[in-house]
Structure 1
């Protein structure tokens, strides 16, 4: 009995040590995403700060543990004037499930050459926080871009091709570049002012509770536009 109690106390000490910093189970990093668009011959920009809280429970729980990330932030908005607003979402460029191309994946993928071959997630975050890198995103990893033909109607959402903004807007609109930069600036909170219906929407943007893939609006939900405390 005494031996069992000692083992439990030892495990608790290891867990408390990890949670109090001696062997941290998580690291937090923020980055600024900036979308630059040429509109009628002038530069128009929008930017936002997104936070990735990366966790790794394996040092305490071994093979029963796992690694994951928690995202806080929102879609980046670019005000194109009378043409409406361009949104860069909190997801990769392709439809469907999964986080491929999402905020955490993009952060590690874009700066992979700076990570010195490190394979564990927490040291990766520490390296990036230390180096505070800045880079232009390759076209194929730019987050999904969307536009609402009617900002009051979530069903009016359309996907925007980053290589061909003119197809959605007109010939005088073109994407110049999208940049990513590690920062310690505060997380952005403004998207609800542009899309107030995000506060009340349930399920997908087409009104369905389930993802069926029947339309583009059905592929998206509020989770693609903002995440964080008290948000799903």
Structure 2
């Protein structure tokens, strides 16, 4: 009888351990809305965020909760032949940061925030011209463009508060919208514009070590910042 109870306990323990390994996922759409002299233009992409929870039984105090993003960068043709891209790094944490900031008792952990994130029904809109509780510099995706779309080394970062410096007078970022969606992950759009995108492992747009403060911006940007495959 004791052996049976021990086996039952071990099976239950194994079940709970495996259960702790399971995660969840959701799709989210990021939309760039740009005001131009010719009128308003917009572009969006749908990415998939996968959540892997901390396994409290196996890993104990080690917090290994992670968020992983799959998909491609949102992009919009601001002017004929002139594109603006919202890079992928840190986009998986945008909704978490927002949900965490809205808590009356302060920040909440990633695992506690997941159900709240998945229940989000209203789009989150970030306006660069408004004073929000969100930290604009750290919560916004990195925006980039290319002086020559066929040459990756011509990449340059764009100040979200001053698109006119790159695209000309009358061009400004009106809003960035982020929302939960049931739409499928966007595929093929970025590769259709950036024909030079390569397979894994993704090199930097300018070869070299981008860790130096004097390194050109292109050394800090990789192909994987525009597209992440399964």
Deviation at 1:182, TM superposition (A): 1.4
Matched, 1:46 2:43: yes
Asked if the contact 1:27/1:126 (under 8 Å) is kept, the reply is no
**1:212 equivalent in structure 2:** 211
Distance in 1, matches of 2:20 and 2:202, equals: 38
Q: How many residues align?
A: 211
Matches of 2:20 and 2:100, distance apart in 1: 27
Q: Which moved more, 1:9-18 or 1:126-135?
A: 9-18
Q: How far, CA to CA, are the matches of 2:95 and 2:145 in structure 1?
A: 24
Q: 1:169 to 1:131 in 2, by over 3 A?
A: closer
Of 77, 93, 118, the residue aligned with 1:105 is 93
Partner of residue 30 from structure 2, selected from 30, 33, 48: 33
Partner of residue 114 from structure 2, selected from 107, 122, 125: 125
Residue in 1 that maps onto 2:52: 55
Cα distance, 1:17 vs structure 2: 4.0
SS in 1 for 2:197: helix
In structure 1, C-alpha distance between the alignment counterparts of 2:183 and 2:103, rounded to whole Å: 22
Rounded to whole Å, the distance in 1 between the matches of 2:76 and 2:10 is 54
Asked whether the 8 Å contact 1:71–1:228 carries over to 2, the reply is: no
For 2:108, what is the secondary structure of its paired residue? coil
2:210·2:216 contact (CA, 8 Å) conserved in 1?
no
Q: How far did residue 120 of structure 1 move?
A: 3.6
Residue 14 (1) aligns with residue 16 (2): yes
Structure 1: unaligned runs, 5 residues or longer = 20-24, 92-101
- With structure 1 as the length reference, what TM-score do the two structures score? 0.80
Q: Which residue of 2 aligns with 1:22?
A: none
Name the counterpart of 1:227. Answer: 228
Within 1, Cα distance between the matches of 2:44 and 2:161? 19
Query: What are structure 2's unaligned runs of at least 5 residues?
Result: 129-135
In structure 1, the residue matched to 2:160 is 162
What secondary structure does 1:59 align onto? Answer: coil
Aligned residue for 2:169? 171
Name the residue aligned to 2:132: none
Alpha carbons 2:78, 2:84 under 8 Å: kept: yes
- Give the drift of 1:108: 1.1
The structure with the largest helix share of the pair is 1
Distance 2:203 2:38 in 1: 39
